[in-house]
Chains A and B, each alone.
Chain A
Amino acid sequence: MTNGSTEPLIVAQNLRKAFNQHIAVTGVDLAVHGGEIFGFLGPNGAGKTTTIKMLIGLLRPTSGSAYIGGYDIHANPIQAKALLGYVPDEPALPDKLTAREFLQFIGGLYRVPAEQVERRGAELFKLFDLQSQANELVGGFSHGMRQKVALAGALLHDPPVLFLDEPTVGLDPRSARLIKDILRQLAARGTAVFLTTHILEIAERLCDRVAIIARGQVIAAGTLNELRQGSSGASLEDIFLSLTGGAEYAEIADVLA
């Protein structure tokens, strides 16, 4: 579901990353428009996190380009990074800052006016039910609470592009549902949402388009209907397993049972 915006907010052109002799990711081309939730699926070790890190500038690609809002993330990093927010799969946050101080720190880095930091911070704490923990040190938070604090930090400056790496892993059902609802609302407001996941149910219910990556290469991309073409109504799980080569493991699973 796009929002009338013609230029994609996230563009990857032939992204490639090699670590010594090992090719982690190769030939990744994709485009995500504003208002779209794009799912990047793949088995463990497929290259999802490597791809997302190249898109947001945490990793330099061996070749290829990545653009955020029209800015090359590596040639114009400041302009590009000002447009994006990122939530890692395991957010490492400064343990000795309180949640409130962390948001103030993020606000300073992204040049968000102090009044906006306070107002938006209060809204986000209320939304994530963190009001009573706002003055507690992040070091004592559970994984789910850290995830929420990291998401609050990513949303503080109201970015038009949001990247999430495995956003619902480790969250209780209520929190996972909350994040899904937030992502839908953000997309409805025109934000381009790029998320990686290996939970297919999330992709089926949330994503407008998906790409499936396996062994460093995108092997399928499109809407769910496009992916289902020729598969006579198969589920995303069946499509995923047939593309990534997981279907034959069912026999092994039978043996172990």
Chain B
Amino acid sequence: MKRATPSIISGTWTILRARWHVARNTFWRGKLIRKILTVLLALLMAGISYGLYRLSGFFVRGLQRLAERDANRDLIDQLGSLDRIFAAVPSLALATFALPMLLSSVSFALSTLYLARDIEALLVTPVPVRSVFLGRFLEGLVPTYLILFLLLAPALVGYGRALGYGVGFFVTLILVLLLLPMLPLSLGTFLTMLLVRVIPARRLRDVLTVIGGLFGLVVYIGSQSLGRAARNIVTPTMAEQLLRFDLPMLPTSWGGRFLIAAGRGEIATMAFYGALYLLATLGLFVVCIVLAERLYYIGMLNMAGTRGGRVRQRGVRSAVREPWLRGPIAAIVRKDLQILPRDLQQLSQLLFPLAITAFWIWRLLTDSELDSSRLRSAQPFVDYGLVATGIFVCVLISHHLGLTSLSREGKSYWILHLAPIDPWTTLAAKLVVAWLPFGIVGTAFVALIGILQRPSAAQLLQDWLLFLLTGVGVASITTGFGAAFPRLDWEQPKQMASARAGCLGPLAYFLYTGLMVGLIAGASFVAGRFGNWVYAAAWAGALLVTALALLLPLMLGVSRLRRLDI
């Protein structure tokens, strides 16, 4: 019996309409506080947009006024030709926003086209595969468009108005921004559809997460290293730097020139660059739609074959027999430490702070600018500078381990909630895991301080105790806040930390670590004047502050866990 099937357009419209219903219901049926926060956020974004509009116009008009005065000739020579700068601004702006889109395009394709929960349900319906592809792709563009039209559009509107461009500029701007995400995201989508034919989507996501972490690390190390190298480089004029983004071969430059031509009323140039821009942005997108029928569907079929993997059991049986490794706390700690290295997505969250740790250790050991004899003469300032650096690095790692301590359990938290253990026991185990960076990395840092500066044994012991004690406070703060504001319904690791935990936790632990380092470092500075009793007083203060940091957040967490319904 033959039945009518929806066309590509009607199928796409059905999918988009369903997504609109979900968004609308999420807002209308959400809690009042959420609605209020959403409205406030919208007002804030509107304010930022208006601010960007006024700021861009202010800068353009300001530069124009500067250029008119002969007194500013030196400054203008440094900047380069103002006309060329203004002409390059749209290309620079478009490239600035297109680059992150390109870098995140594979991740975008994976999350919208392959790993969304309802994708399988959509694909078994008699809706063309291209409709599913198109619907999900367009739906995924919404956050991108929000960013473009709230941030980039007002800035370029202010720029256009300040330069006196006509209405053609503003109409063209809308078209350019609507098409901007098409090229980078289509490129990523096309690449993803090819990759997913051989690598299952979930595995690809895990690999990408690690690559993303490594990329962030490379950027960080590069920025640290370039800072020193840049002193020796002749700085070109600003115009020359901006013109690098206005290369004729870049599609974003075509978009920029399309805009400038529209603003100036240059019809022929506008038509030329407009056609190039349309071809570049829409061309690959159309290719993706055509190929989706086959490539996308094959990729989805591949996902069914993902297995969990096998683990060789080494020494676990004998380890569990050890008395101190039994009991609920040990069981939870052991479980967390078993899972962490196997979960690429969670591990990638730690990759950056771990790599920063290694980077700083390497830099401290090899930096030729650090003269050991000069370091010794500058003690105790340098001492506590290194300690503070080490504590900061440990805090970076502990931040993730502690704030997501409960959230990491996700939907399997019911196992802990059902077990005959008190919430204090659960949080004690999570605190141990969050403290480990201080015990391991902190000890490594103290050893490094010992190698570099050769302080007295008493000073070294003091530094080590400071690490360990500060670790207790930080771990308790992160664990307590993580338990007080858990998110157990996450789909991706980056959703694990709730906004409240993410804001309140760092505030509390930065205050705490500042107090701790300040107390102990302060004692060293004033001991010479007031006597050695200040050390005892400082350590007593540190113990008291740590006791408060230990108890209060954990009490908050325990109270929340007792009221948690699963």
Question: Residue B418 at the A interface, CB < 8 A?
Answer: yes
Interface string of A84-118 (1 = CB under 8 A from B): 00101000111111101100111111110111011
B312 touching A135, Cβ below 8 Å: yes
Q: Which of chain B's residues 326-346 have a Cβ closer than 8 Å to chain A?
A: 326-328, 330-332, 334-335, 338-339, 342-343
Interface residue A200 (Cβ < 8 Å from any Cβ of B): no
CB nearest neighbor in A for B563: A60
Which residues from chain B contact A100 at a C-beta distance below 8 Å? 313, 316
Question: Contact: B331 with A105, CB < 8 Å?
Answer: yes
The minimal Cβ–Cβ distance linking A64 to chain B, given in whole angstroms, is 15
Q: Which of B326, B330, B331, B418 contacts A56 (CB 8 A)?
A: B418
Q: Do A136 and B565 touch across chains, with their CB atoms under 8 A apart? A: no
- Is A81 interfacial (CB-CB < 8 Å)? yes
A92 to chain B: closest residue by CB: B411
Contact A88 B414 (CB under 8 A): yes
Nearest CB in chain A: distance from B478 CB, A: 21
Contact A111 B327, beta carbon cutoff 8 Å:
yes
A78, B422: Cβ atoms closer than 8 Å = yes
Interface assignment of B3: CB less than 8 Å from any CB of chain A: no
**When A and B form their complex, which 4 residue pairs have the shortest distance between CB atoms, in order from nearest?**
A140-B308, A108-B331, A137-B308, A92-B411
Which residues on the A side are within 8 Å of B565 (C-beta)? Answer: 58-60
Determine whether the beta carbon of A108 is less than 8 Å from that of B326.
Answer: yes
Known: A92-B412, A97-B338, A137-B308. A79 touches B420 (CB 8 A): yes
Shortest beta-carbon distance from A215 to chain B in Å? 21
List, in ascending order, chain B residues with CB within 8 A of A92's CB. Answer: 410-412, 414
Interface of B with A (CB < 8 Å)?
Answer: 306-313, 316-317, 320-321, 326-328, 330-332, 334-335, 338-339, 342-343, 409-412, 414-422, 563, 565-566
Q: Write out the residue numbers on chain A whose beta carbons fall within 8 Å of the beta carbon of B421.
A: 78, 109
Instruction: Give the residues in chain B near A114, CB-CB below 8 Å.
Output: 317, 320-321, 326
A-B contact pairs, 25 of them (CB 8 A): A58-B414, A58-B417, A58-B565, A81-B418, A81-B420, A92-B410, A93-B412, A93-B415, A101-B335, A104-B331, A104-B334, A105-B331, A105-B335, A105-B415, A108-B320, A108-B335, A109-B415, A110-B419, A114-B321, A135-B312, A136-B309, A136-B310, A137-B309, A137-B310, A137-B311
Task: Check A108/B334 contact, CB under 8 A, given A53-B566, A114-B326, A140-B308.
Answer: yes
Closest Cβ neighbor of B488 among chain A residues: A92
A138 at the interface (CB under 8 A from B): yes
Contact B308 A136 (CB under 8 A): yes
Q: Are A95 and B308 in contact (CB under 8 A)?
A: yes
B414 partner residues in chain A, CB cutoff 8 A: 58, 88, 92
CB distance from B341 to the nearest CB of A (A): 9
Q: Which residues of B contact A80 (CB under 8 A)?
A: 420
Known interface pairs A58-B414, A137-B310, A140-B308; A97-B566 also in contact (CB < 8 Å): no
Q: How far is the CB of B303 from chain A (nearest CB, A)?
A: 13
Evaluate contact between A110 and B310: CB separation under 8 angstroms. Answer: no
Known: A92-B411, A101-B335. 12 other contacts (CB 8 A): A81-B419, A94-B415, A104-B320, A104-B331, A105-B332, A106-B419, A107-B331, A108-B326, A110-B419, A111-B327, A136-B307, A140-B306
Q: Which residues from chain B contact A108 at a C-beta distance below 8 Å? A: 320, 326-328, 330-332, 334-335
Q: Which of A106-161 contact B (CB under 8 A)?
A: 106-111, 113-115, 117-118, 135-141, 153
Asked if residues B339 and A98 are in contact (CB atoms below 8 Å), the reply is no
A69 to chain B, nearest CB (A): 12
CA distance A101 to B311 in the complex (A): 10
Do A141 and B308 have beta carbons less than 8 Å apart? yes
- 8 Å CB contact of B566 from A59, A79, A115, A137: A59
How many residues of A are in contact with the other chain, CB < 8 A?
44
Q: Which residues of B contact A139 (CB under 8 A)?
A: 308-309
Q: Count chain B CB atoms within 10 A of each CB in A57, A82, A95, A110 and give the residue with the most.
A: A95
| A176 CB to nearest B CB, Å | 23
- In the complex, how many angstroms separate the beta carbon of B424 from the nearest chain A beta carbon? 11
* Residues A94 and B311 in contact, CB atoms below 8 Å apart: no
Question: For the complex, what is the distance from the CA of A108 to the CA of B414, rounded to whole Å?
Answer: 16
A-B contact count (CB 8 A): 122
Q: How far is the CB of B1 from chain A (nearest CB, A)?
A: 16
Residues of B near A113 (CB, < 8 A) are: 326
Q: Is there an interface contact between B418 and A86, defined as CB atoms closer than 8 Å?
A: yes
Q: Which residue of A lies closest to B310 (CB)?
A: A136
Q: Are A138 and B334 in contact (CB under 8 A)?
A: no
Q: With both chains docked as a complex, state the minimum distance between the C-beta of B296 and any C-beta of chain A, in angstroms.
A: 24
Q: Is B417's CB under 8 angstroms from A137's CB?
A: no
Could you say which of A86, A98, A105 contacts B334, with CB atoms under 8 Å apart?
Answer: A105
Q: How far is the CB of B25 from chain A (nearest CB, A)?
A: 16
Residues of A within 8 A of B415 (CB): 93-94, 105-106, 109, 153
Chain B nearest Cβ from A17, distance in angstroms: 9
In the complex, chain A residues whose CB is within 8 Å of the CB of B332: 105, 108-109
Q: Which residues of B contact A118 (CB under 8 A)?
A: 317
Contact A109 B311 (CB under 8 A): no
Q: A114-B326, A137-B342 are in contact. Are A101 and B316 (CB under 8 A)?
A: yes
In the complex, A108→B321 CA distance in Å? 11
Alpha-carbon distance A88/B334, docked complex (angstroms): 24
Expressed in whole angstroms, the Cα–Cα distance for A104 and B313 within the complex equals 12
Tell whether A82 pairs with B338 under 8 Å between CB atoms, given A92-B412, A104-B320.
no
A56 and B415 alpha carbons, distance in the complex (Å)? 12
Chain A residues positioned under 8 Å from B342 (CB to CB)? 96, 137
Q: Considering only CB atoms, which chain A residue lies closest to B344 in the complex?
A: A96
Instruction: State A96–B566 Cα separation when bound (angstroms).
Output: 21
| Chain A min CB distance to B361 (Å) | 29
Inter-chain contacts of A58 with B (CB < 8 A): 414, 417-418, 565-566
A151 → B minimal CB distance (Å): 13
- Contacting residues of chain A (42-67) with chain B, CB-CB under 8 angstroms: 53, 56-60
Pair A96/B338 contact, Cβ less than 8 Å? yes
Task: Tell me the minimal C-beta distance from A114 to chain B in angstroms.
Answer: 5
Residue on A with the closest CB to B565?
A: A59
Q: Say which residue of B308, B317, B328, B566 sits within 8 Å of A109 (CB atoms).
A: B328
> Across the interface, do B328 and A111 meet the contact criterion of CB distance under 8 Å?
yes
Q: Name the residue of chain A whose CB is nearest to the CB of B408.
A: A94
Q: How far is the CA of A244 from the CA of B156 in the complex (A)?
A: 64
A104 neighbours in B (Cβ, 8 Å): 316, 320, 331, 334
Which chain A residues border B563 with CB–CB below 8 Å? 60
Assembly CA distance A138 to B343 (angstroms): 13
* A140 contacts B417, C-beta separation under 8 Å: no
How far, in Å, is A84 (CB) from chain B's closest CB? Answer: 8
* A107 nearest in chain B by CB position: B331
Q: Is the CB of B335 within 8 A of A94?
A: yes
Taking CB atoms, residues of chain A closer than 8 Å to B321 are 114-115
Cα(A117)–Cα(B415), bound, Å? 17
A54 vs chain B, min Cβ distance (A): 10
Question: Which chain A positions have C-beta within 8 A of B566?
Answer: 53, 58-59
Point out the residues of chain B lying under 8 angstroms from A57, CB to CB.
417-418
In whole Å, how far is B314's beta carbon from the nearest beta carbon of chain A?
11
Return the contact of B308 from the options A59, A60, A110, A138 (Cβ within 8 A). A138
CB distance from B134 to the nearest CB of A (A): 32
A88 to B417 alpha-carbon distance, docked (Å): 13
Closest to A104 in B: B320
A116 to chain B, nearest CB (A): 11
B412: which A residues are within 8 A, CB to CB? 92-94
With CB as the reference atom, state the residue of chain A lying closest to B343: A96
Bound Cα distance from A117 to B325, whole angstroms? 14
